[in-house]
């Protein structure tokens, strides 16, 4: 029979016990120790029930921290829920397609979603709702405007650029908002092409643009490059065209 370890103190006071549990990684249990012990005594838990409750508590806390971390990383920002979306305002919108996209069926299949339409028709709102649903479902997500993403990709070394391209190719879902609001320089167009190539068939993309795909040659200032980018984006994707007048203009008219 093994003799007890002389370095172990069988009579830890509550504060020492909480600190020990925290060091061992039981963060939730250490912070709620008094309440947990009170429930165990009141419920007359046997040793197995006690361990099961400890495991459930720590598992739930781990899931909560993981969700918070993925939400921070995604950088989705503030958005209105789809319950507030005015489906009757756009002149043309495929509601069943959007609701299917909100079910996230395209992500496990590695397909892309391209939302096209004039400003103020809800493309960003839809994208953020899909991104948020994906985070809640356990997927890794990044949401960036095209300008922010391309600014970040500007690097003074090839090594730094490779690292950044790898960062943007890593998530399961990458959302790039507002392609086409400003024409891209030759360098920016090249960077976007490299990003599209890196993520091709490995993850899902959501792209929003206020320009028809026929006008992407003007966005990228290079029709050949635009065609190559579209080939990769549209090869395995669903394209949603939203038509109508800006919802913001509608609200301004009401105020006026």
The secondary structure of residue 238, as a DSSP letter, is E
Task: Tell me the whole-structure pTM to 2 decimals.
Answer: 0.81
Q: How would residue 252 be classed by pLDDT, with cut points 50, 70 and 90? A: low
Q: What is the CA radius of gyration of the chain?
A: 25
Q: What confidence score (pLDDT) does residue 249 get?
A: 62
Work out whether the CA dihedral 101, 107, 113, 119 comes out positive or negative. Answer: positive
With tokens 């007359």, the residue in question is: 44
Residue 27 above 50 pLDDT? yes
Question: Which range (5-19, 88-102, 194-208) has the least confidence?
Answer: 5-19
For the residues 138-162, what does the mean pLDDT come to? 91
Give the integer Cα–Cα distance in Å for 95 and 17: 55
Domains along the chain with CATH numbers: 14-71 (no CATH), 82-255 (3.40.50.300)
């Amino acid at each position: 029979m093994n003799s007890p370890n002389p370095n172990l103190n069988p009579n830890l006071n509550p504060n020492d016990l909480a600190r020990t549990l925290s060091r061992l990684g039981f963060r939730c249990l250490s912070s709620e120790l008094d309440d947990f012990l009170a429930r165990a005594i009141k419920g007359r838990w046997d040793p197995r029930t006690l361990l099961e409750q400890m495991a459930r508590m720590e598992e739930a806390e781990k899931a909560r921290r993981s969700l918070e971390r993925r939400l921070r990383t995604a950088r989705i920002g503030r958005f209105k829920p789809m319950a507030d979306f005015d489906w009757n305002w756009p002149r043309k919108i495929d509601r069943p397609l959007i609701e299917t996209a909100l079910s996230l069926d395209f992500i496990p299949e590695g397909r892309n979603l391209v939302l096209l339409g004039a400003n103020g028709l809800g493309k960003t709102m839809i994208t953020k709702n899909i991104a948020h649903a994906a985070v809640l479902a356990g997927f890794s997500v990044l949401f960036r405007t095209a300008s922010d993403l391309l600014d970040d990709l500007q690097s003074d070394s090839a090594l730094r650029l490779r690292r950044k391209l790898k960062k943007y190719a890593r998530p399961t879902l990458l959302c790039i908002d507002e392609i086409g609001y400003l024409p891209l320089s030759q360098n920016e167009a090249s960077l976007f092409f490299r990003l599209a190539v890196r993520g091709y068939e490995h993850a899902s993309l959501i792209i929003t643009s206020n320009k028809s795909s026929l006008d992407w040659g003007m966005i990228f200032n290079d029709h050949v490059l635009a065609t190559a980018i579209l080939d990769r984006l549209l090869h395995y994707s669903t394209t949603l065209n939203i038509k109508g007048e800006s919802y913001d203009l509608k609200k301004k008219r009401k105020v006026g």
